[in-house]
Structure 1
Amino acid sequence: MHGSINDAGAPLTLEHISRCFGDTMALDDVSLSIAPGEIVCLVGQSGCGKSSLLRIISGVDTADSGRILLNGTEIAGATSFVEPEDRNIGFMFQDYALFPHLTVEENVAFGLRRLSRREASASAAEVIGRIGIQALSGRYPHTLSGGEQQRVALARALAPKPVILLMDEPFSNLDRGLRERVREETISTLRALGTTAILVTHDPEEALSVGDRVVLMQEGRVVQVGTGYDIYDHPNSLYAAEFLCPCNRVEGIYRDGRVETVLGTFPARLGLPEGGKAFACIRPQALCLSGPDEGLPAIVVNRSFLGEIEQLLVRIEGVADLLRLRTTSRVDVKPGEPIHLTIDAGGVLTFAAA
């Protein structure tokens, strides 16, 4: 189930949203409801429909079918359409879209044009204070760092007190270290204000760490919805498992409630007939180095130091593809050397072959 339809009290409800561009189905029967104060992450491969859905929610684009409710009121449907500027929906763009000729305070106040100048200035000052950028008020965007521009964009989006805030890859233009810090500050601010938000990202780690719920999309469809823990620990498809974490896919046969592979036999509940084709999806951290007298023999093909972890690519006889092993321990092995591995069954997922 992709979220209850027409949930009472939901700031945003999407019902059966579909959108085609020529022969391409950008969105295919998407239904979802967002709870008050909830931060939901839309995640999936490029072109899966994440940004298209945001554009339709904001009113920049229209759906071919379905309807959208904001606080229980239909704002888009077969016979209704509320203009974007009248929806009270905030939008943060990937490039921030700050006006270069306006100061920070003027940028933040820009969306408050329906208020008097005094009221707009007071509202802008309030949100600037909440986000902690008072020292930037009189500066212009070109004098700000990327992180500072992002905070100004957040303040501008929040100033009108939107029913919901839409964020399209808001941190992707920042360097990694700054990205994590600004992301944490932004999410902390949204939670402190009780802001309902949808964040689009292509980064599964970002989605898992930020979202109260994660919505995984594939080719215009919602394929799984749940908490980060839910969809990581219990992916409902091979696509979900491999998108959320690099996996070692090994072919097998389903027999008597197990998937039999050249690497071992793993418990499975797949509903397949006996002898049906299946896959074991072995997460890199489930491959463990063992002593020379136990486990599976393998040959190291490549070793990479990734900071917190070390990664080995290994070859095992009978397995077509190289296997990826990740460990937080330091390993003293070189390409071409033999090693032995055991498999932690808790890190193995099983799926029916398509």
Structure 2
Amino acid sequence: MMHGLAETTTGALTLEHIGRRFGETLALDDVSFSIRHGEIICLVGQSGCGKSSLLRIIAGVDTADSGRVLLGKTEVAGPDRFVEPEERNIGFVFQDYALFPHLTVEENVAFGLKKLPRHEARERAAAVIARIGIETLARRYPHMLSGGEQQRVALARALAPKPRILLMDEPFSNLDRGLRERVREETTATLRALGTTVIMVTHDPEEALSAGDRVVLMQKGRIVQIATGYEIYDRPNSLYAAEFFCPLNKLPGVYRNGRVETALGAFPAGLNLPEGGQALACIRPQAFRLAQPGEGMSARVVRCSFLGEIEQLAIKVEGVEGTLHMRTTERIEVKPGDDVRLVIEPGGVLAFPQA
């Protein structure tokens, strides 16, 4: 008999009011959300926001102080029930991959299949190895593998038992940047093809936006926003969410007639503020665009950095405190001290109440 089971229409996983405290630190504060079958969720936020603590509670290697965890309609953790980690059938890919050094790739992948008859475990391991495309590595040991190869082996080992959910804790952070992007794309394509339900922890905003069907942004143990990558980038619900995914030029202003009036002009904004309320206009660096002579505003170049595809300028505009930052894919033949004319694309401006 299962205690506290709830009939629910949820999909693969439901978290209800999860709380976790370590001494005086509230690591998780009333965290609730659900995940659909086959969905890839990216859990993102600054270090110490509670991402890894939440994974550990879902896996069952740590216990929440309050709240419930349900897999499908089955409660696996709550006030009156706790299902051991090995009984939850949840896969886990660790940041350091945690491969067994004394076992071959084939043996590593088969490690979690001990409940199966030996021939069936061997067949299952071989099928997963083929699916991940690491057949040529099957007889090698972990120390003979590159970082990208180790990551694929760790993925194969986690997928071999056909887990209900796969948890991934910073799975690409140990890889070089170029390799990281390629391995991430290959991994997410494989997981989507298999219909695997995934929660992936990352601290990389670009990774979260590109890999997840939805992004769960956390701050200090609480959920700030849950949305698709496009929604959370285009319509962040707070200054914290906006700044997490893109650097901003923040200009103080006054809210009047549905606009924020600043030293660089007035920008449309739908804010729940009284007339004359203090607001911030937040201009994304890519919202600046070179203007024709006589158009736009005058700015002086303070610094310029050529980043290959992108050029980044620090600019000074009269009447605005400090420097502003501009990013563009145009080739701008300028040097520090030069004057330029700029316009601002309104779509690149976000507005929030002044904190």
Give the TM-score, by structure 1 length.
0.97
Q: Does 1:86 align with 2:71?
A: no
Deviation at 1:182, TM superposition (A): 0.4
Q: 1:63 — aligned with what?
A: 64
Q: Secondary structure at the match of 2:125?
A: helix
Q: Does 1:112 align with 2:117?
A: no
Give the counterpart letter for 1:66 in structure 2. Answer: G
Output aligned runs, 1:179-198, within 5 Å: 179-198=180-199
Q: 2:238 — aligned with what?
A: 237
Runs of 4+ deviating beyond 4 Å: none
Give the counterpart letter for 1:52 in structure 2. Answer: S
CA distance in 2, matches of 1:343, 1:239: 22
CA distance in 1, matches of 2:236, 2:195: 29
CA distance in 2, matches of 1:273, 1:41: 36
Q: Does 1:102 align with 2:114?
A: no
CA distance in 2, matches of 1:6, 1:304: 57
Output aligned runs, 1:97-246, within 5 Å: 97-246=98-247
Superposition RMSD on alpha carbons, in Å?
A: 1.1
CA distance in 2, matches of 1:206, 1:43: 9
Q: Spell out, residue by residue over 1:2-46, the C-alpha distance to the aligned partner (whole angstroms, 9 max, x if none).
A: xxx975251110000011111111111110100000000011111
CA distance in 2, matches of 1:186, 1:178: 12
Q: Aligned pairs, how many?
A: 350
Q: 1:31 — aligned with what?
A: 32
CA distance in 1, matches of 2:61, 2:278: 45
Contact kept? 1:6, 1:13, Cα under 8 Å: no
Output aligned runs, 1:297-316, within 5 Å: 297-316=298-317
Q: 2:353 — aligned with what?
A: 352
Q: Does 1:51 align with 2:52?
A: yes
CA distance in 1, matches of 2:297, 2:21: 50
CA distance in 1, matches of 2:322, 2:189: 42
Q: Spell out, residue by residue over 1:105-140, the C-alpha distance to the aligned partner (whole angstroms, 9 max, x if none).
A: 000011111112222111111111111111111000
Contact kept? 2:10, 2:35, Cα under 8 Å: no
Contact kept? 1:48, 1:217, Cα under 8 Å: yes
CA distance in 1, matches of 2:50, 2:306: 35
Q: 2:3 — aligned with what?
A: none
CA distance in 2, matches of 1:26, 1:307: 40
* Identity in percent: 73
CA distance in 1, matches of 2:243, 2:323: 15
Q: Spell out, residue by residue over 1:73-110, the C-alpha distance to the aligned partner (whole angstroms, 9 max, x if none).
A: 00000011111111100000000000000000000011
CA distance in 1, matches of 2:300, 2:30: 47
Q: Spell out, residue by residue over 1:45-73, the C-alpha distance to the aligned partner (whole angstroms, 9 max, x if none).
A: 11111111101111111111000001210
CA distance in 2, matches of 1:6, 1:230: 31
Contact kept? 1:259, 1:266, Cα under 8 Å: yes
Q: Spell out, residue by residue over 1:129-160, the C-alpha distance to the aligned partner (whole angstroms, 9 max, x if none).
A: 11111111100000001110000000000000
Contact kept? 1:112, 1:159, Cα under 8 Å: yes
CA distance in 1, matches of 2:311, 2:32: 41
Q: Spell out, residue by residue over 1:149-190, the C-alpha distance to the aligned partner (whole angstroms, 9 max, x if none).
A: 000000000000000000010000000111011001100100
Gaps of 5+ in 1: none
CA 1:7–1:242 in structure 2 vs 1: closer, same or farther (change >3 Å)?
A: farther
Contact kept? 2:40, 2:214, Cα under 8 Å: yes
Give the counterpart letter for 2:119 in structure 1. Answer: R
Q: Secondary structure at the match of 1:186?
A: helix
CA distance in 2, matches of 1:7, 1:103: 43
Gaps of 5+ in 2: 1-5
Output aligned runs, 1:255-266, within 5 Å: 255-266=256-267
CA 1:329–1:7 in structure 2 vs 1: closer, same or farther (change >3 Å)?
A: farther
Deviation at 1:321, TM superposition (A): 2.9
CA distance in 1, matches of 2:121, 2:306: 52
Which stretch shifts more, 320-329 or 87-96? 320-329
CA distance in 1, matches of 2:43, 2:308: 28
Q: Secondary structure at the match of 1:329?
A: coil
CA distance in 2, matches of 1:338, 1:51: 48
Q: Secondary structure at the match of 1:40?
A: strand
